[in-house]
Amino acid sequence: MALIQTKDLWKTYQMGTELIHALQGVSIEIERGEYVAIMGPSGSGKSTLMNLIGCLDTPSKGSYLLNEKQVSEMNDDELARIRNEEIGFVFQTFNLLPRATALHNVELPLIYAGVSAKVRGERAAQALDKVELADRKSHRPNQLSGGQRQRVAIARALVNNPSILLADEPTGNLDSKTGVEIMSLFERLHQAGNTIVLVTHEPEVAAHAYRSIHIRDGQVEKDVRRAA
């Protein structure tokens, strides 16, 4: 059974008197352990699809199964639990707490999950170790470079051992050299067994993934697997 399965997914918005069909019948399957890029120009619907996969939004119609659970019918509390436990988010803008240390930033999802302080500290330190930032755990974001901040954000996304790592333009705020370092980190995480879904409009970023799903006008235009 696929880890992510969407069937005839629609998302429609009302803007004034106009109906905007952001997604129009998207059906995709992503297996556990895959590394997938969702691509498309601005306004294609890729961000809408990411929000639905990440349980940040609900579809207008159609079904979404995550880990064989019917997400499209969940209430707000169930969606919040899925977001915290099943999905690790990595954003373009890092979204770190400026006054908190790297370790405390990484602990945040565990605080929401009700994990004890001792276990939190251990797991957050392990996650920072995975992204090669163990020596920076007491630094605050303003004491870290952009690449280091994104590594902290990735450690935070990993700390709950989520089913999916969902990254939205993860190199968008980084220079090209740092972007390459972050993409090689994603490759290592994928080799370690993590399922990665990457949303990007940059072909050179998408090229790191093993499969690219191209969205245009709210529909899947093509679904391409990289030759092994």
- Which residues pair with residue 76 across a beta bridge? none
110 found inside a domain:
yes
pLDDT value of residue 174: 87
Structural domain includes residue 122: yes
For residue 142, being part of any structural domain is answered with yes
Structure confidence at residue 35 (pLDDT): 96
Q: Which two tokens stand for residue 213?
A: 């799903």
- Euclidean distance between CA atoms 124 and 136, whole angstroms: 12
User: Is residue 227 scored above 80 in pLDDT?
Assistant: no
Kindly tell me if the per-residue pLDDT of 29 is higher than 90: yes
Q: Is residue 217 in some structural domain?
A: no
Whether residue 124 lies inside any domain: the answer is yes
pTM: 0.90
Looking at residues 134-141, what average pLDDT do you find? 94
pLDDT of residue 96: 93
pLDDT (tens digit per residue) in 165-197: 999 998 888 888 989 999 999 999 999 999 999
Q: Give a yes or no: residue 210 inside a domain.
A: no
What pLDDT digit, counting tens, does each position of 42-59 carry?
889 999 999 999 998 889
Q: What is the per-residue pLDDT for 92? A: 84
| DSSP codes, the chain | --SEEEEEEEEEEEETTEEEEEEEEEEEEE-TT-EEEEE--TTSSHHHHHHHHTTSS--SEEEEEETTEEGGG--HHHHHHHHHHTEEEE-TT----TTS-HHHHHHHHHHHTT--HHHHHHHHHHHHHHTT-GGGTT--GGGS-HHHHHHHHHHHHHTT--SEEEEESTTTTS-HHHHHHHHHHHHHHHHTT-EEEEEES-HHHHTTSSEEEEEETTEEEEEEEPP-
Q: Is residue 121 assigned to a domain?
A: yes
The pLDDT assigned to 228 comes to 61
Give the model confidence (pLDDT) of 74-120 as tens digits: 888 899 888 888 899 998 888 899 999 999 999 999 988 889 999 99
Within a domain: residue 111? yes
Residue 132 belongs to what domain range? 99-160
| Among the listed residues 70, 63, 66, 43, the one whose alpha carbon sits nearest the alpha carbon of residue 54 | 66
How many domains, in total, are found in the chain? Answer: 1
